[in-house]
Amino acid sequence: MLRYTLLALSLLMLAMTFNEPDSYWPVDLTLLGHSLQGNAFGWLFSVFLVAYIPLLGISAVMLIRYFSRFLKTRNALSLWSLLIFALLPLCALIRFNGWVFSEIF
Q: What are the domain boundaries of the chain?
A: 2-97
CA 83/CA 97 separation, integer angstroms: 20
Query: Taking a C-beta distance cutoff of 8 angstroms, is the pair 94, 55 a contact?
Result: no
Is it the case that residue 21 has pLDDT exceeding 90? no
What average pLDDT does the structure give for the chain? Answer: 88
Give me the helix-helix angle, 40-73 and 88-99, nearest 10°.
Answer: 140
State the burial class of residue 66 (Cβ atoms within 10 Å of its Cβ: 0-12, 13-18, 19+).
buried
pLDDT confidence of residue 2: 85
Cβ neighbours of residue 89 under 8 Å, at least 6 residues apart? 6, 7, 9, 10, 55, 58, 59, 62
For residue range 35-75, what is the model confidence (pLDDT) as tens digits?
A: 767 788 888 889 999 999 999 999 999 999 999 999 999 99
Residue 74's φ and ψ, nearest 5 degrees, are 55, 50
